Amino acid sequence: MMADRFAQECDFLSVGTNDLVQYGLAVDRSNPAVAYLAQALDPAVLRMLDVVVRASSAFGKRLSMCGDMAADPFVIPLVVGLGYRELSAPGTALPLVREVLSRIDSKDARALALDALECATADEVRALIVKRFAGQLGELWREAGVIA
């Protein structure tokens, strides 16, 4: 929430999505009793990610993302739509990430992100992603075991 202040002082910004989800939603992702509540598509998380994008843009700072969201073939269209262009993912995930990126249009991704920022729940965001990108990515998602 202080990204605008940090951006004034830093050379670049990088968001670690696993910790952002855990601490932003106050959910211990390692506790089986509540881990299901740690949802990366929660609108609160998306709004926090958007705050960082706006701050990096306002101050002309490089922006990157690491963590599960950066390597998730289902979430990548939303990540790109929010404005993240540098993604850090495990080497084993790179072929799939590249394939997803090659199949999406950044304008469509931006429209998705703008609508997702208006959603009230993670389920609404999930449904929106499916509605907008199943045509381009549905087969790939099924092959990767992301959706049935």
DSSP state of 147: -
Q: Read off the CATH number of the domain in which 130 is found.
A: 3.20.20.60
Q: Read off the pLDDT of residues 49-64 as tens digits, 9 standing for 90 and up.
A: 999 999 999 999 999 9
Question: Could you tell me the residue range of the domain that residue 134 belongs to?
Answer: 3-144
Task: Label the pairing between strands 86-88 and 62-66.
Answer: parallel
The single-letter code of the amino acid at 32 is P
Q: Read off the pLDDT of residues 84-100 as tens digits, 9 standing for 90 and up.
A: 999 999 999 999 999 99
* Tens-binned pLDDT, residue by residue, of the chain (148 aa): 899 999 999 999 999 999 999 999 999 989 999 999 999 999 999 999 999 999 999 999 999 999 999 999 999 999 999 999 999 999 999 999 999 999 999 999 999 999 999 999 999 999 999 999 999 999 999 999 988 7
Tokens of 87: 């993604």
Do the Cβ atoms of 62 and 83 come closer than 8 Å? no
Distance CA 112, CA 4 (A): 24
CA angle 122, 125, 30 (to 5 degrees): 35
Report the side by side order of strands in the sheet with 86-88.
Answer: 12-16, 62-66, 86-88
Mean pLDDT score of the chain: 96
pLDDT of residue 148: 73
Counted domains in the chain? 1
